[in-house]
Amino acid sequence: MGPVGLWPLESGAPQFGVEAFDSRPLFPSSGWETCHPHSGEIASENVDFCATFEPSWTDIWLTNHIAQAVIGAVIVLVFWLIVKPRRSVSDDPTQNGVIPSKRQFLGEYAYDFVRNGIARDMIGHDYHKYVPYLVALFSFILVNNLFGELFVFMFPTFSKIGFAWGLAGASFILYNAVGIKRKGFFGYLKSMTVPAGVPGWLLPLLIPLEFLSNFIVRPLTLGLRLFANLFAGHLVVMVFVVGGSWLLFSDASSSWAYNWTWNVAGGLSLLVSFFVFAIELLVACLQAYIFTVLTAQYVSSALAEEH
């Protein structure tokens, strides 16, 4: 079995393309190996079995992309454990926390970026309560987005929409929970559906729209925005790399001039792919920031006295 995001062909060459988006089990069951389309042609004697085959829990939950998300979580945890300040009694000021070391400086810079640039500016008073979640959220999204640039993975985790829905659901629960805690259930519901200062005759029209916007559209767009940007960016890279490779090494035509044109187009496509990779890197960082900012904004609106 090839690297994450790749399926081996019968010849052993890696299969690039849209199949890189397929999740596959790390420990496939015998039924999966027999009946999954990527395993080759299904023998005639197994047709009846495959028609009723039900994947096991390992086929569904122990997949390459879930393992990738777990690896991302471990990286985030290890990073913050490494860069946290270590206070001890020492003659060396860099060892007792007075003067931060280089790794502490890196951690403090990343922490202050989220704490001051997102949490404090968006939430305001009592922002410190939400800093740990926002820091973890930003770190986790950034690391998993950058997996799309690393040759070991070459796949951004949030190109699978289920992971984006998971984070959107966590943020949805957070900002609704803090709003209900602050205002009570009916008080919060009123603040999120009844705009202040609106004439009463408009409320039958505005209340359903506000409810739809705040409780349905927000989590949907939060997850879809992250997924769509990462999915589209990775797909564009794949088109240029796969298409360029095919054109560059293609000799399907007997015409030398025709093949030469294809080869030049393929080489240009591969060169453009490096530029697209740079854009994808920018998008990976930007989407981590946007998701975190929107989560902080939704928390702020849930805590606001007037909607």
Residue that has been written with the tokens 């925005």 in this structure: 225
pLDDT of residue 83: 86
Name the nearest CA neighbour of 242 among 20, 4, 64: 20
HSE-up of residue 290 (Cα within 13 Å, Cβ side): 16
Name the nearest CA neighbour of 193 among 182, 179, 181: 179
pLDDT of residue 14: 39
pLDDT of residue 2: 36
Q: What are the residue ranges spanned by the domains of the chain?
A: 7-24+63-303
Residue 31 corresponds to which amino acid? G
pLDDT of residue 70: 94
151-209 pLDDT tens trace: 778 889 999 999 999 999 999 999 999 999 999 999 999 888 888 777 888 888 888 99
- Low pLDDT (below 70) residues in the chain: 1-20, 37-49, 51, 86-100, 250-258, 306-307
pLDDT of residue 221: 94
pTM recorded for the entire structure: 0.82
The DSSP secondary structure of the chain, one letter per residue, reads: --STT-EE-TTS-EE-SGGGG---BSS--HHHHHHSGGG-PPPGGGHHHHHT----HHHHHSBHHHHHHHHHHHHHHHHHHHHS------SSTTTTTSS--HHHHHHHHHHHHHIIIIIIHHH-TTGGGGHHHHHHHHHHHHHHHHGGG-TTT-S-GGGSHHHHHHHHHHHHHHHHHHHHHHH-HHHHHHHHHS-TT--GGGHHHHHHHHHIIIIIIHHHHHHHHHHHHHHHHHHHHHHHHHHHHHHHT---SS-HHHHHHHHHHHHHHHHHHHHHHHHHHHHHHHHHHHHHHHHHHHHHHHH-S--
pLDDT of residue 293: 96
Q: Cα 1 to the chain's mean position, in Å?
A: 24
